């Protein structure tokens, strides 16, 4: 024989939040941990816990009341559907959820003795205790305060530091310009000095080269003159050596040739007349 029972708990959420989550397929699946197919239309078929529970929406009052027909795969065919009624009442701590389950077969008392608590109430409390959608939305950055334009007096009157820095810059600039002009004035003088030094070096080098090369020509000339002078002496020495070799005669070659001719004539036989 079927029986009825009532369970209640407090959820950390508003009645509207619980109503929307119960009738939404994704939220119902995340809330319980099993795949669910839900609808917010009266007469629509529903399912929960991966098809273990099936039923239909019988009555819907947004934020107040949900009435559905339920049956599990453990119901026999002759058993009629059970009726689940959920009542939502707002409290200081959230929402008082009251569940009435009627027309339940006698052999299915496990739903009352812990089935609803472990499969729905406890996971629902964890689900609604987590961060809410509005908490996950990043706050928009605050607009920066408007920057007021500086007054003309502030822009015209520079500070003492700015004046000092400006004076220093002017002094540095003027000294740099003076240094540049002085360097520019020195450049022609330096160039003229360099030109003079170069000219002196070139002239001195030429003179030194002339001095080094000039003695060579006289040396060659004196050598030639010495050779020309020594030629007659050498010839006389050769002649003297020839005379000594011929017997020390002091006659000239021409005289020797004449004597030889006279001797030949004497030695030759005289022809008969």
Residue of 101, 18, 102 whose CA lies nearest to 62: 18
Query: What domain range is 52 assigned to?
Result: 3-130
Residue range 158-184, pLDDT digits in tens: 555 565 555 555 555 555 566 555 555
Residue range 10-23, pLDDT digits in tens: 999 999 999 999 99
Residue range 114-126, pLDDT digits in tens: 889 999 999 999 9
> With the C-alpha atoms ordered 167, 172, 175, 181, is the resulting torsion angle positive or negative?
negative
| DSSP SS3 for 205 | helix
Residue range 222-241, pLDDT digits in tens: 555 555 555 655 666 666 66
Q: Per the domain annotation, does 249 fall within a domain?
A: no
Question: What is the pLDDT at residue 37?
Answer: 96
In the chain, the number of structural domains is 1
Q: Per the domain annotation, does 216 fall within a domain?
A: no
Question: What is the pLDDT at residue 111?
Answer: 80
The CATH number covering residue 8 comes to 3.30.530.20
Question: What is the pLDDT at residue 264?
Answer: 46
Which tokens is 122 given?
A: 């406890």
Mean pLDDT calculated for residue range 39-63: 95
Q: Per the domain annotation, does 215 fall within a domain?
A: no
Q: In angstroms, rounded to a whole number, what is the distance separating the alpha carbons of residues 131 and 201? A: 97
């Amino acid at each position: 024989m079927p029986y009825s029972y009532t369970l209640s708990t407090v959820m950390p959420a508003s009645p509207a939040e619980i109503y929307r989550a119960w009738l939404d397929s994704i939220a119902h699946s995340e809330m319980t941990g099993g795949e669910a197919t839900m609808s917010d239309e009266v007469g629509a078929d529903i399912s929960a816990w991966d098809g273990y529970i099936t039923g239909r929406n019988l009555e819907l009052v947004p934020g107040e009341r949900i009435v559905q027909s339920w049956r599990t795969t453990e119901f026999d065919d002759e058993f009629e559907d059970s009726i689940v009624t959920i009542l939502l009442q707002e409290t200081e701590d959230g929402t008082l959820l009251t569940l009435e389950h009627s027309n339940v077969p006698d052999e299915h008392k496990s739903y009352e003795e812990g089935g609803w608590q472990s499969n729905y109430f406890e996971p629902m409390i964890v689900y609604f205790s987590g961060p809410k959608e509005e908490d996950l939305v990043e706050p928009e950055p605050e607009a920066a305060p408007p920057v007021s334009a500086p007054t003309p007096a502030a822009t015209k009157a520079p500070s003492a530091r700015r004046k000092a820095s400006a004076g220093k810059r002017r002094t540095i600039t003027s000294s740099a310009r003076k240094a540049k002009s002085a360097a520019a004035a020195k450049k022609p003088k330096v160039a003229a000095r360099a030109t003079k030094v170069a000219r002196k070096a070139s002239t001195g080098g030429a003179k030194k080269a002339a001095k080094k090369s000039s003695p060579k020509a006289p040396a060659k000339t004196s050598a030639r003159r010495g050779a020309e002078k020594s030629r007659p002496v050498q010839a006389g020495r050769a002649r003297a050596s020839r005379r000594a070799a011929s017997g020390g005669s002091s006659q000239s070659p021409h005289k020797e040739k004449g004597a030889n001719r006279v001797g030949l004539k004497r030695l030759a036989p005289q022809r008969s007349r």
